[in-house]
Amino acid sequence: GTHTTLRALERRGLVTLEQQAVRRRPPVRPVGGRSDVPHVLSADQAAALAAVLALLDQPDAADRRLLLHGVTGSGKTEVYLAAVAAVLERRRSAIVLVPEIALTPQTASRFQQRFGDTVAILHSQLSDGERYDEWLRLRRGEARVCVGPRSAVFAPLEQLGLIVIDEEHDGSYKQEGDPRYDARRVAELRAGSAGAVLLAGSATPRPESWVAFPRLSMPDRVDSLPLPAVEVVGMAGIEGALHPRTVDALAEIRERRSKAIVMLNRRGWSNFVACHDCGHTWGCPNCDVTLVLHQAAGRISCHHCGHSQKAPRACSECGSVSVGRHGIGTERLEHELDRLLAPLEVLRLDSDTGSGREATARLLERFEALDAGVLIGTQMVAKGHDFPDVALGVVLDADATLRFPDFRAEERTFSLVAQLAGRSGRGPGGGRVLVQALDPDAECLALAAAHDAPAFLACELERRAALRYPPFGELIRVVCSCSERGPELEVATLLAERIVALAPEATIAGPAPLFRLKGRERSQLLVKSESRSAAVRAVREAVEATAAEPISGPVAFAVDVDPQ
């Protein structure tokens, strides 16, 4: 072979062979962004940057955290770029966190256009070689800016001067599996220990950040473009997934050869499959949930454990061939809009079409390149994309999150609607947004329609203060699970008694049963306390003591401080 021939030539002194390291470079795709020459900052941007620089040059500042509250399209990324430039001038380093791996190439592209090879990328979808090479560049100081999702908060950088948390409201900063950590909290601690500035940015900040951080405000879009008009339409009594006003608005997009983004936060063809004759529904054998139909794959699947089986043609209980498909997901919506809007191109972005390396970036590139088209998808379509030619945004089933028993339901609903609304009207042509809901009078929807985050946060904080929810109290969730029913509830009850004895000032909710997940029966406790340290200490002692009991043998404990 070639290697043998070269070695022979080397032995004869005719060639010299030497090893050279070949750097494995992660792909970067400049999607949905603009050419990145430094812009002249607006007055609001300049004021925000000045606040960051003041902290950078003030080593004894007591609080080095800042919340950059800017409406969608106000140019927060330009402030991040200018702040990173200032950090590099001071011979320090920076971490820029984004909520999704899918957003990393876009953000990294803007930073690399501005700062070149000093920018490295870290995330879990890189190959082992790419990740190692990028990590090594950071470790050696060859790269001094790291861009990536939550795990990038651990980047091996010396002389850290700045940590940026873009879209700081996003729940994906919390790692739900072991090790359970919140990258926003880790960033806060790491910035504090390094004497770095923490700059968290969002159009829809968390109530916790709104209360805790000094605030910078950017209330206007760049170039003085107006925020899009938002109309909330009620779906009571409407048949089908689309309100007549939505159908008309999409038809107008087709006639005008323009672009729209439609969000439905539910993937698949239909929510569940049921027999019309006997009522049998197909459920997951491992989880207490129904299976979702994926038409193109011809399968019904569990979105929790991944179980998948062939889609039924007849009922397994009564033999009837009258099998109904109920509800609508993004796959079915794509099919319906294809039929309704032909010949307009319809693209779908969800974890079925956007999984795998670069799949999301390629899909967004296609949408960006279109003169006219519709992008539909789950919440992925609402996150951080900058397409100036989108004239219409549509949110379907906007109040679905309000139907969950979760104290953050209003916050999530407000954020999702406001973020999707922010994708529209970023160009000179302006835009509008339609929000479909069963309860169009919900307060959080009205405030999202008014683009009024301060008013929403004032209401939300008042409600949370009355109930002692974060940021006015601390929450710890403990889930006990077992492969058989019974022990998990018994152990959770014993655990609750121990926590009450160790932390009498805390309030315990539960134990309450949770739906079976991945073949395990579950019971949960929710501990509410005014002192995080006291609650953590009590829960740790109680879990350790309870786990040592013989009855706890088959039971696993999962402790989540500040559950999301």
Residue 140 exposed, middle or buried by CB count within 10 Å (0-12, 13-18, 19+): exposed
Least confident range of 59-63, 426-430, 488-492, 559-563? 426-430
pLDDT of residue 22: 65
Asked if the domains 43-222 and 226-267+329-465 are classified in one and the same CATH topology, the answer is yes
64 within 8 A of 192, measured Cβ to Cβ? yes
Structure tokens at 158: 């010396």
Report the CATH architecture of 474-561. Answer: 2-Layer Sandwich (3.30)
Look at 25-29, 294-298, 489-493, 514-518 and tell me which has the smallest mean pLDDT.
25-29
- Residues contacting residue 563 through CB under 8 Å, at least 6 positions apart: 475, 476, 477
Stretch (H or E) spanning 244: helix 244-256
Enter the tokens of residue 35: 């050419």
- For residues 439 and 312, give the distance between their C-alpha atoms in angstroms, rounded to a whole number: 34
Give the lowest-confidence range in 71-75, 115-119, 466-470. Answer: 71-75
pLDDT on residue 410: 93
Does 102 have pLDDT greater than 80? no
Long-range contacts (CB closer than 8 Å, 24 or more residues apart) made by 534-541: 534/503, 534/505, 534/506, 535/474, 535/476, 535/503, 535/506, 536/476, 536/561, 537/502, 537/503, 538/499, 538/502, 538/503, 538/506, 539/476, 539/478, 539/499, 539/503, 541/498, 541/502
- Which residue bears the tokens 């796959």? 331
Q: Is the pLDDT of residue 552 over 90?
A: no
pLDDT in tens, 407-421: 899 999 999 888 888
Give the model confidence (pLDDT) of 232-291 as tens digits. Answer: 999 888 888 899 999 999 999 999 999 999 999 888 888 888 998 888 999 999 888 889
pLDDT reported for residue 430? 72
51 Cβ partners below 8 Å, 6+ apart?
66, 216
For the cut 90, the answer to whether the pLDDT of residue 380 exceeds it is: no
pLDDT at 510: 82
Contact (CB, 8 A) for 171 and 142: no
pLDDT, position 414: 93
Per-residue pLDDT at 361: 77
Closest CA to 394 of 411, 372, 417: 417
pLDDT at 495 over 90: yes
CATH 3.40.50.12780 fits 226-267+329-465, yes or no: no
* Domain ranges (residues) in the chain: 43-222, 226-267+329-465, 474-561
Residue 424 predicted with pLDDT over 80: no
Residue 547 exposure: Cα atoms within 13 Å on the Cβ side: 14
Range from 61-65, 108-112, 122-126, 190-194 that averages highest in pLDDT: 190-194
Q: Is the pLDDT of residue 29 over 60?
A: no
481 bridge partner residues? 522, 556
pLDDT score of 477: 94
Of 191 and 16, more confident: 191
**Residue 59 in tokens:** 């080593």
The stretch 517-532 carries a mean pLDDT of 91
Lowest mean pLDDT among 184-198, 233-247, 380-394: 380-394
Calpha distance 263→450 (Å, rounded): 19
What are the CA-CA distances from residue 482 to residues 239, 305, 558 (Å)? Answer: 43, 16, 12
For residue 384, pLDDT over 70 is answered with: no
pLDDT at 126: 84
pLDDT, average across residues 116-138? 88
Domain 43-222 belongs in CATH node 3.40.50.300: yes
Q: Which pLDDT belongs to residue 27?
A: 61
Res. 351: pLDDT tops 60: yes
Q: Residue 540 pLDDT more than 70? A: yes
DSSP string, 453-466: HHHHHHHHHHHHHH
Number of H helices, E strands in the chain: 15, 22
Q: For residue 157, what pLDDT is reported?
A: 95
Q: Is the pLDDT of residue 160 over 90?
A: yes
Residue 427 has pLDDT above 70, yes or no: no
pLDDT at res. 428: 65
Tokens of 314: 């007849």
Q: What is the residue-wise DSSP string for 291-322?
A: PEEETTTTEEE-TTT--EEEPPSS-TTT--S-
Average of per-residue pLDDT values in the chain = 88
What pLDDT does residue 539 have?
A: 94
Per-residue pLDDT tens for 428-471? 667 889 999 999 999 999 999 998 999 999 999 999 999 899 99
Residue 352: predicted pLDDT: 77
Higher pLDDT, 356 or 77: 77
Q: How confident is the model at residue 297 (pLDDT cuts 50, 70, 90)?
A: confident
Residue whose tokens read 């990294």: 108
**In one letter, which amino acid is 444?**
C
| pLDDT over 80 (residue 166) | yes
* Higher pLDDT among residues 357 and 133, named by residue: 133
197 compared with 389, residue with greater pLDDT: 197
In whole angstroms, give the CA distance from residue 373 to residue 368: 9
- The separation between the first and the last C-alpha atoms of the chain, rounded to the nearest angstrom, is 58
Q: At what angle do helices 532-547 and 487-502 cross, to 10 degrees?
A: 140
Most confident of 314-318, 424-428, 503-507, 525-529: 525-529
Contacts made by residues 507-516, CB under 8 angstroms, sequence distance 24+:
507/468, 511/480, 513/489, 514/479, 515/287, 515/288, 515/289, 516/286, 516/287, 516/288
